[in-house]
Amino acid sequence: MTRKLILTLLLLSVGANAWAKLEIEIVRGNKSAIPIAVVPFAWASSVPQPATGTAGIISDDLYRSGLFDPLAEADMVARPQGPTDIRYGDWKLLKTDYLVIGSVEDGSNGDYRFVYQLYDVNTQEQLLSRVLPVRPGDLRYGAHRIADDVYERIIGVPGAFATRIAYVAATGVGNELQFELVVADADGFNPQSIVSSPEPLMSPTWSPDGQNLAYVSFEKGNSAIWMQNVFTGGRRQISAYRGINGAPAFSPDGGKLAMALSRSGNPEIVVHDLNTGRFQQLTQHWAIDTEPAFSPDGRWIYFTSDRAGKPQIYKIGISGGQVQRVTFEGDYNARVTIAPDGKRLAMAHGNGNQYRIAILDSERNRLTVLSDGRLDESPSFAPNGSMILYASREGGRGVLSAVSADGSVRQRLVLSEGDVREPAWSPVIR
């Protein structure tokens, strides 16, 4: 599974008059990928059918996971539209394990209904049969939801196709350098520029409800932390103290924002209550403490510190207390992100001059390197914990990459112009 998957001509605004194309490539897939066929959905609506079909979106999603090998539409010997149309023998001859069929119908109030089923070809068992209402502008989103359902029913883990990613895109050089904070669907479609600035933008992070992004901007000269609604564009400044204002991270309930502030001298971990406006400083040390991340249960804050001489991961209770060191292997461990199960920590792991993405199993205390670049950084877990999105360097510019949590599947996402950095994977948005 090394063939390139170019998901049509995807245009991404990266400036007032510049556009760039995003290409998603499966670098390495699972050798035991599951054969599946997603039959083109019957279009039973009274309005014209869009150019991109539902089945194609579902197939692309499943293929990008690296765990499925969808059958090409041209190789399908039949196009069943309902359960009675299925001839299981035909699909067995094509060595297909699973079959998805469905239709798109008119719903109430001008919306649509997806009616779809999933079948096990070998047992001839119906595994899913559902109706999904969607608004007229959400047909792609509805297809992602179906892919999530199919993925979860077969793999046993919730899908993450109906999610979004945020990242910083940079184009131009010198005085023409421009930074954009971009939000796009997880497959790269529907990109939107949230913020544009000639000054650096950094460290985007999602609120748990997927409504807001917190990020660092240098638009007024000094670093400042902002929180912005991705739908309305409304934003507010959270912190703009003299010195460092960096690395924001939302608490699991969305009510607090952890950050690194140097208002007391050295950078320290501080928690800001978004409701009361109160700031609580958790650490007090001569070293640099930065890059906080909440544990999924909200009890701990993990962070990067060089208090032992070199950057390593530590943790502290949400109310303060004793700091505990978490990582010991390697010269450099930073920018931690925690899986939804709270048991796995992904980080930028360095030895010598190589920096790669590694994952620490906290229960077994075992660290595994997943990526193979030289300057891999800024990991971000998918909301189902199956993949890790991160920034890398290729040909002298920034690209995004993704690797499965077991290291078996790898993807690359490349802008045709400029570079891309600081990725953040959103929660599941319903």
Query: Which of 379, 340, 345, 377 has its CA nearest to residue 360?
Result: 345
Distance from chain centroid for Cα 223: 25
CA-CA-CA-CA torsion sign (190, 194, 197, 202): negative
- Are 287 and 307 a contacting pair, CB within 8 Å? yes
Residue 129 identity:
S
Q: Where are the alpha helices (DSSP H) in 71-182?
A: 88-93, 139-155
- What span, in angstroms and rounded, lies between the C-alpha atoms of 356 and 372? 6
- Are 216 and 245 a contacting pair, CB within 8 Å? yes
Give CA angle at 401 (397, 407), nearest 5°: 140
> Any idea what DSSP says for residue 177?
-
Q: Which two tokens stand for residue 153?
A: 């029913």
- What span, in angstroms and rounded, lies between the C-alpha atoms of 40 and 23? 24
- Are 227 and 213 a contacting pair, CB within 8 Å? yes
Residue 354 identity:
Q
Residue 36 identity:
I
- Are 292 and 283 a contacting pair, CB within 8 Å? no
- Quick one: angle between helices 139-155 and 54-64, nearest 10? 50
pLDDT at 416: 60
422 Cβ partners below 8 Å, 6+ apart? 167, 168, 201, 202, 203, 204, 378, 391
3-state helix, strand, coil split of the chain in percent (to 5) is: 10, 50, 40
End-to-end CA distance of the chain: 31
pLDDT at 66: 85
Distance from chain centroid for Cα 284: 33
63 Cβ partners below 8 Å, 6+ apart? 1, 5, 26, 69, 70
- Structure-token match 């978004």, residue found: 274
Which pTM was predicted? 0.89
Q: Where are the alpha helices (DSSP H) in 35-138?
A: 54-64, 88-93
Query: Which of 219, 212, 306, 220 has its CA nearest to residue 257?
Result: 212
- Are 285 and 270 a contacting pair, CB within 8 Å? no
- What span, in angstroms and rounded, lies between the C-alpha atoms of 343 and 142? 31
Show pLDDT as tens, one digit a residue, over the chain (430 residues).
233 332 322 223 333 333 344 566 767 766 789 999 999 999 988 887 776 789 999 999 999 888 999 999 999 999 999 999 999 999 999 999 999 999 999 888 888 999 999 999 999 999 999 999 998 888 999 999 999 999 999 999 999 999 999 999 998 888 888 999 999 999 888 888 999 999 999 999 999 999 999 999 999 889 999 999 999 999 999 999 999 999 999 999 999 999 999 998 899 999 999 999 999 999 999 999 999 999 999 999 999 999 999 999 999 999 999 999 999 999 999 999 999 999 999 999 998 889 999 999 988 899 999 999 899 999 999 999 999 999 998 878 888 999 988 888 888 887 666 789 999 999 987 6
- Are 70 and 8 a contacting pair, CB within 8 Å? no
Q: Where are the alpha helices (DSSP H) in 2-138?
A: 54-64, 88-93
- What span, in angstroms and rounded, lies between the C-alpha atoms of 234 and 216? 16
Which domains can be identified in the chain, with CATH numbers? 32-155 (3.40.50.10070), 164-425 (2.120.10.30)
